[in-house]
Structure 1
Amino acid sequence: MYEKGMDLPKDPEMALYWYRQSAAQGYTDAQLALAILFANGQGVKVDLAQAHTWFHKAAEAGNSNAQFNLGTYMAHGIGTAKDLPSAAFWLSRAALQGKAGAAANRDYVVNLLSPQERDELERRLKTATNPQHQDKQATIR
């Protein structure tokens, strides 16, 4: 509301405050919004490392838009070191949720991977999408 000035005066500082509050409580849309604010310098200085951090938190929690952005950032080395295997992983996760453009971007990145990196990607995806593995992870936490 504060970010776009909907029903309230536009106030980037208040938008940042409320996004931080919501993001701290685990709301992935707020985490994604924070990432975008830091990436674009809306109400804050551009901070690509912070953008990467917030994209990663939201991506881990299953937000397909964050997964897509995180994969794109990793593919290009924006806010983090270039990491094509991880980029392919996050783009794959976004594609599995039907995120537009994710499958095409994933396919492009996968074509740049070595056979060993492709095998590792397949293992990571199986582990990440295996409900039994997720249950074990929840038990460990």
Structure 2
Amino acid sequence: MAFILRGPSLVQVWLFDISADRNMKKALWALLCAVTFLSEAWADKVNGVDAPASDHPTLQDAQDALASGNYAKAFNGYHNAAVQDKNALAQFSVGLFYQNGWGREIDPITACRWFEKSAQGGIPVAQHLAGVCFDEGIHHVKDPAAAAYWFRKAAQAGHHYSYCHLANLLMTGRGFPKDPVKALELCHPVAQQGSPPAQLWMGKFYLRGDPAIRNKQEAYRWFAAAAQKQTPEAFYYLGLIMQSDSSANQAPSEIRQMFEQAAALKYVPGYFQAGKHFYDAEPDPGTGQLSAEHLAKAYLWLSAAIQQSQNPEEISVAKSMVQQILAVMPETWLAELDQKIAQHLQ
């Protein structure tokens, strides 16, 4: 493989700077959403009765502490209410701390135990998460029947996205007879209302579900709808469909763009695909060799794949490609590129 380096600097490789800023904003937005949700929930239901959170200084203090990033104080406030008062919202809040690693190690098993307690107290989001815990066998052995019970409870209580998880049980026949038509009927209304996770499920059902309902065009339509809302996984699946559909004669640059967008949004499987497609990019028409921009991006995304992928074969191939890139890439590029990788993965 031959390369030509065009341009003296790496200013062309702007994507990591943008994605780093975007991901920081996403992290802050997730925290803000959690604080807002908990604040509104506490205002409506504290200790099982309608009462404002301000009537309970410990819980109000916990909310304020979470909003300011004081995880230790916030956790103590929620944990006290969860244990002493057996408050369902407090139990859900404690589960979030363990799920997201706020001020402590991420602990899915402990998180699931708290979500199950909260689910029993009637919190719809906790009921959904308890369903996921049973479905994936996180804190108990896998139990499709228990998962279905909680998904149904959550959906009936207004967490409509849970219908798509219930649909997946019917689509795969786990714990129930397969019923792909019923599965689509359950998930479709939620996706139609604009839920990106539900749109992802619909895309997956049509792409890889029961052979009786597979439809690549429908799959593409649903993934495209989710991608419009900047859903990382949707871009990845669009890339896969475009890559596999030889009849559509998709331009390599368009396929690269899909995988790169998934990678920029930190969807780990997108790293290898983006890096591989830049590594295999069409040569520069004037030189017959790879451009500097494609070379740098191949190194960036393949390096990210090596650090983040859980697929041994993928990591091995990525390492081989990176070695070939290093054989021709100027050493003066490495410090800046490695810094961009570290910032992106932080």
Same fold (TM over 0.5): yes
Aligned equivalents of 1:110, 1:79: Cα separation in 2: 23
SS in 2 for 1:58: helix
Aligned equivalents of 1:110, 1:89: Cα separation in 2: 13
Deviates more, 1:29-38 or 1:40-49: 40-49
Partner of 1:52: 112
> Which of residues 99, 109, 114 is equivalent to 2:176?
114
TM-score after normalising by structure 1: 0.72
Runs of 4+ in 1 over 4 A off after TM superposition: none
CA deviation vs aligned residue, 1:64-95 (integer Å, no higher than 9, x gap): 01000110122122343221111111001101
**Would the aligned equivalents of 1:68 and 1:99 in 2 still touch at CA under 8 Å?**
yes
Partner of 1:88: 148
**Would the aligned equivalents of 1:74 and 1:87 in 2 still touch at CA under 8 Å?**
yes
Aligned equivalents of 2:100, 2:81: Cα separation in 1: 20
CA deviation vs aligned residue, 1:22-63 (integer Å, no higher than 9, x gap): 112122111111111111211122222211110011001111
Deviates more, 1:55-64 or 1:104-113: 104-113
| Structure 2 residues not aligned, in runs of 5+ | 1-63, 178-346
Deviates more, 1:83-92 or 1:38-47: 38-47
| Structure 1 residues not aligned, in runs of 5+ | 116-141
Partner of 1:21: 80
**Would the aligned equivalents of 2:155 and 2:162 in 1 still touch at CA under 8 Å?**
yes
**Would the aligned equivalents of 2:169 and 2:176 in 1 still touch at CA under 8 Å?**
no
Matches within 5 A, 1:1-141: 1-5=64-68, 10-24=69-83, 25-111=85-171, 112=173, 113-115=175-177
Return the offset for 1:96: 1.1
Aligned amino acid, residue 43 of structure 1? G
Count of residue pairs brought into register by the alignment:
111
Aligned amino acid, residue 116 of structure 2? H
Partner of 1:120: none
Deviates more, 1:41-50 or 1:106-115: 106-115
Return the offset for 1:100: 2.8
Return the offset for 1:103: 1.2
Larger radius of gyration, structure 1 or 2? Answer: 2
**Would the aligned equivalents of 1:52 and 1:80 in 2 still touch at CA under 8 Å?**
no
Aligned equivalents of 2:146, 2:81: Cα separation in 1: 27
User: For the structure 1 residues 91 and 38, does the alpha-carbon distance in structure 2 shift closer, same or farther, using more than 3 Å as the test?
Assistant: same
Q: Cα RMSD between the aligned structures?
A: 1.5
